[in-house]
């Protein structure tokens, strides 16, 4: 499964994602500079965390017009796997590839800490290796992770099972203290209607080895690999 990690000016988790794919998952991976106009030859794309274009105006607002994003959009519309982590999630919502929006944390503070997230839909290419309701220990580091969707959209997301992860406590229960940013409905990650684009604020690529405090994030990458192999491993 050849992964491409999109690099915007200001991305700063690109190396973490690259390392996880190459050294932990042991799959081929390359960086894709934001000025590229093609993503041909890749099987999966990762939009990493960071502060693309300084997060000026709104997080992800300028990055979504980067030259590479046209190709990312085509790749996504054709069913390719696209994973947006943190700033990558923000870019994908701004691009309209994922529903809703992410804005200022309700308490106005940048939060860098471990969270627990519950797998709400394990039928996706990104979660098929996880158990239903599995609780993952995955860290966050963001100031603009407060997820919002209007009432009608939220209903739609629930009905279509597009809420992929929710913040919970260690035991898997939802509670105010477990929600680190004020996200509506404790939403930590959502997918598109087709299920091939996932955005999440927590950083699974920082939870890929016991040495880092958790290996729980790996299940997302293993799911992607599993899905890819189930397709016959044919490069797109």
Partner 1 sequence: MRWKAKIEVTLKKEVLDPQGAAVEGALQVLNYRNVRQVRVGKYMELLLEAPAREEAARQVEEMCRRLLTNPVIEDFSYTLLGETP
H-helix or E-strand spanning residue 90: helix 87-94
Q: 161 CB contacts (<8 Å, ≥6 apart)?
A: 120, 121, 123
Is 142 a residue of the active site? Answer: no
Of residues 232, 220, 20, the one with CA closest to residue 121: 220
Which stretch, 15-23, 104-112, 163-171, 210-218, contacts partner 1 (CB under 8 A)?
104-112
Q: Assess 193 for contact with partner 1 (CB under 8 A).
A: no
Q: Assess 66 for contact with partner 1 (CB under 8 A).
A: no
CB closer to partner 1, 86 vs 101: 101
Which residue in the list 86, 94, 120, 191 is annotated as catalytic?
A: 86
d(CA 4, CA 172): 32
Q: Assess 179 for contact with partner 1 (CB under 8 A).
A: no
Helices within the chain (DSSP H only): 14-19, 68-77, 87-94, 151-159, 218-230
Is 107 a residue of the active site? Answer: no
Among 30, 41, 54, 57, binds partner 1 (CB under 8 A): 57
d(CA 191, CA 150): 16
Cβ(190)–Cβ(202) below 8 Å: no
Q: Assess 58 for contact with partner 1 (CB under 8 A).
A: yes
Both structure tokens of 46: 């990762």
CB closer to partner 1, 147 vs 227: 147
Is 203 a residue of the active site? Answer: yes
Helices within 108-217 (DSSP H only): 151-159
Among 27, 148, 215, 226, binds partner 1 (CB under 8 A): 148
CB of 80 to partner 1, least distance (A): 24
Question: Can you give the binding site for partner 1, defined by CB under 8 A?
Answer: 57-58, 61-62, 65, 93-94, 100-101, 103-108, 146, 148-151, 182
């Amino acid at each position: 499964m050849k992964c491409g990690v999109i690099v915007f000016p200001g991305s700063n988790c690109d190396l973490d994602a690259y390392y996880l794919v190459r050294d932990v998952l042991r799959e081929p991976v390359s960086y894709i500079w934001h000025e590229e106009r093609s993503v041909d030859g890749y099987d999966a794309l990762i939009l990493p965390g960071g502060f693309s274009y300084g997060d000026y105006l709104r997080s992800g607002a300028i990055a979504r017009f980067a030259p590479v994003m046209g190709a990312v959009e085509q790749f996504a519309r054709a069913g390719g796997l696209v994973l947006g982590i943190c700033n990558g999630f923000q870019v994908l919502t701004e691009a309209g590839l994922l529903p809703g929006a992410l804005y200022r944390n309700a308490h106005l503070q940048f939060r860098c800490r471990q969270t627990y997230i519950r797998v709400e839909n394990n039928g996706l290419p990104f979660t098929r290796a996880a158990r239903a309701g599995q609780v993952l220990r995955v860290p966050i580091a963001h100031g603009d992770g407060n997820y919002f969707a209007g009432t009608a959209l939220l209903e739609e997301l629930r009905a279509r099972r597009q809420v992929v992860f929710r913040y919970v406590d260690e035991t898997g229960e939802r509670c105010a203290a477990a929600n680190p940013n004020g996200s509506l409905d404790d939403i930590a990650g959502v997918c598109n209607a087709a299920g091939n684009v996932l955005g999440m604020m927590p950083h699974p690529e920082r939870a890929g080895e016991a040495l880092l405090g958790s290996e729980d994030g790996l299940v997302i990458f293993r799911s992607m690999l599993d899905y890819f192999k189930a397709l016959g491993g044919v490069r797109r």
